[in-house]
Structures are given as structure tokens and as C-alpha cells.
Amino acid sequence: PDDFDGLRRVAADLSAAAVKPADANASLAARVAAIDPSSADLQRAAVAIASASGDAARLAAVQDAMKAVTAYALTRLPSSSTVDIGTDRLSGALADELARRPRR
């Protein structure tokens, strides 16, 4: 999937497979591979899922696939922009003044 919703769905299915390793099957492997056919990490993760035998191997493959999908998604996110905090020289001056004066 090229969209983030598709990536989220694959990540959710990987999370479910981490709870129930028997769900780590060829279909899930194909979905991981389809994210980006040119990504060696995703292809490696897909092969590991498809060829894993036993729950421990499936779980390890799913965890590696989660890392690969997350790393891929992070490369596709737009970079963050600078946030202006807007410091004001007088901000807090009223609170400081009120704290300085005793209450009547």
C-alpha cells in the first residue's frame, strides 16, 4: 500500500499476528512484500514470514516485519516544520505581579 491507511492496516495485522503467530501466513507475507517491491528490507521480512515454521520463528519474523514497515513508513512521512513558540517578553508578568502583591 502506498497510502498510510494501508500501512496502518498491515501494521495492525502484524500486531494481531504477534499475538497469534499462526496468523502469520503467506497472505500476510504478500501484503508486506506489496508495500514496496523495491525495498530489500520489506522483501526480506516477507520471505521470513512466509518461510517461518513454528510459533517462535513466526513471532520473530512478524517482529522484524513490524520494524521494517515502521522504518518504511517513517521514510514516507513529510518532514516536520519548525514551530514558533512565540516568546513574549511580558508573558507571565501579570502572574508575577499578582504573586508579588499580598492578597487583601
What proportion of the chain, given as a percentage, has pLDDT over 90?
62
Query: CA–CA separation, 22 vs 7, rounded Å?
Result: 21
- Say what the pTM is: 0.71
Calculate mean pLDDT across residues 21-50. 95
Cα distance between residue 53 and residue 5, in whole Å: 29
Cβ atoms of residues 1 and 7 within 8 Å: yes
Give the mean pLDDT of the chain: 88
Which residue in the block uniquely carries the three cell numbers 498510510?
4
In this predicted model, what pLDDT tens digit does every residue of 44-90 receive, in sequence order? 999 999 999 999 999 999 999 999 999 999 888 777 777 776 676 66
Over residues 35-43, the mean pLDDT reads: 95
Mean pLDDT value across residues 4-31: 93
pLDDT category of residue 35 using cuts at 50, 70 and 90: very high
- Report the C-alpha gap between 93 and 88 in whole angstroms: 10
Environment class of 17 (CB within 10 Å of its CB; exposed 0-12, middle 13-18, buried 19+): buried
